[in-house]
A and B are shown apart, each in its own frame.
Chain A
């Protein structure tokens, strides 16, 4: 019994330590981020940020779009198969539009970015640590936080919401295609239904979520990289941890935000 309590306590402290480290790193990165901004910051840092934005955002567009189109189709088909029985096929539009803007767009994007960029952050920073590149930055009187982490975080904050918008559009477009081929609903009418069903609140909720998801992915990826010890095998473990932990935290954060928005909404 004592052993079980001991191990539970140890794990709890470990997790609290991890969350604490994430918060400390997040705050330190936010403070260092001014240097990565355009015009007011260091222009080399902004250049790095733009390069990161291309890697996180532009390079991920095909994958995110394809995932959103497939999910849009699946969502519309599953919804249609149930709603058809009640003669409520028209509500598939609401289901897809609201479902994507509030939930699926940001979530699918976060999962894709976590797999692509979260792991890449951990691998890149971990390798820099193993090969003493982070140490060489420190001895050149440069802060790794400002030089490496801040551009990545800023890029994620900009790229993830943009990808979420693309994901929303692709998912809704896929729903429209399904409706056109299944009940011959014309695109113009479909779009009118979409605009009628979405509220500003849904869009804001989706954007807030995607900013939080971007923060989680960037911070977990960077922290896992910074925690690398020893040799290259440790880098491999850190990339796996980055994907697993960021996906887990994204889903937890999603549940919390959805609950907050649900209970604060006027029904």
Chain B
């Protein structure tokens, strides 16, 4: 069985449907990239997979536990096997980087402080921040913050690593460094990795499979080659970077008509 299974997942906010009955299986050791434009529901799906929100209907199975219906203690147990690095890094600003990475170790293990210190150093070294442990998050650059967030996410050696837009807002060089880091983690720790992104080069570099979301539904799921060869118009639009015709919406059509009317040219 897949390590993560999403079944008929429907999510609504204030009556507005965000995800329309999604189905997805993610296998052990696989790197799955959730690709799609802004507002298509990538981050919402991610929040469902890590159990931060409840769906309207459907299920999310993580390690065979339905996290949409399980008890709080079961959910906590499942969460210990998931490491998450948020888009904003979400480091605790009052703690330095070492303490941020040490936090899950202090809370969930009975390791001696000296061992925790060693593990923290190893995790920081893995992301290339071994010499920055004493700094506060506010003293780090955007790329370093994201790497520190990854170090914290892998502190407990999780089976699943979830990365929400790891390269968003970073320059291409730092973004490429992060991609290298993800590949390194994949090959070193053999983790199942889920990455949410809208960066095409990054997605094609790190993914084993890609799931493309469009307006709350998967327009295509497959390997990198399947996606590249896809003739699905939604996929082609996204890959070829063809902008959608925004004048096709009722409001903009009305506005366009107004602009062309004599009243607008007074």
Contacts and interface: CB of A to CB of B under 8 A. Distances in A.
B20 to A, nearest CB: 24
Nearest to B155: A140
A139 B50 CA distance: 7
Contact of A136 (B86, B107, B108): B86
Interface in A33-92: 42, 44
B79 A132 contact: no
A183 interface: no
B92 A133 contact: yes
A135 interface: yes
A142 interface: yes
A135 B86 contact: yes
Contact of B90 (A44, A136, A141): A136
A131 interface: yes
Given A135-B86, A136-B90, A44 B106 contact: yes
B104 to A, nearest CB: 5
B52 A140 contact: no
Nearest to B162: A139
B52 A139 contact: yes
A141 B155 CA distance: 13
A142 B152 CA distance: 14
A136 B84 contact: yes
Contact of B88 (A42, A44, A131): A131
A139 B82 contact: yes
A138 interface: yes
Nearest to A133: B90
B107 A140 contact: yes
Contact of B79 (A44, A131, A141): A141
Nearest to A130: B88
A150 to B, nearest CB: 14
B107 A142 contact: yes
A140 B108 CA distance: 9
Contacts of B79: 138-141
B221 interface: no
Given A131-B88, A136-B84, A136-B86, A141 B52 contact: no
A44 B86 CA distance: 24
A138 B82 CA distance: 11
Contacts of B93: 131, 133
A131 B106 CA distance: 23
B262 to A, nearest CB: 40
A69 B7 CA distance: 66
A133 B94 CA distance: 11
Interface string B95-110: 0000000011011100
Nearest to B76: A141
Nearest to A131: B88
Nearest to A43: B106
Contacts of A139: 50-52, 79, 82, 84
A260 B91 CA distance: 47
A253 B28 CA distance: 57
Contacts of A133: 90-93
B254 interface: no
A57 B77 CA distance: 37
A24 B212 CA distance: 41
Interface string A211-244: 0000000000000000000000000000000000
* Shortest Cβ-Cβ A-B pairs, 6 listed: A136-B90, A132-B90, A141-B76, A141-B79, A139-B84, A132-B86
Interface of B: 47, 50-52, 76-77, 79-80, 82, 84, 86-88, 90-93, 103-104, 106-108
Given A136-B86, A139-B50, A140-B104, 8 more contacts: A44-B107, A131-B88, A135-B47, A139-B51, A139-B84, A140-B103, A140-B108, A142-B104
26 contacts: A42-B107, A44-B107, A131-B88, A131-B90, A131-B93, A132-B86, A132-B88, A133-B90, A133-B91, A133-B93, A135-B52, A135-B86, A136-B84, A136-B90, A139-B50, A139-B51, A139-B52, A139-B79, A139-B84, A140-B103, A140-B108, A141-B77, A141-B80, A141-B108, A142-B104, A142-B107
Interface of A: 42, 44, 131-133, 135-136, 138-142
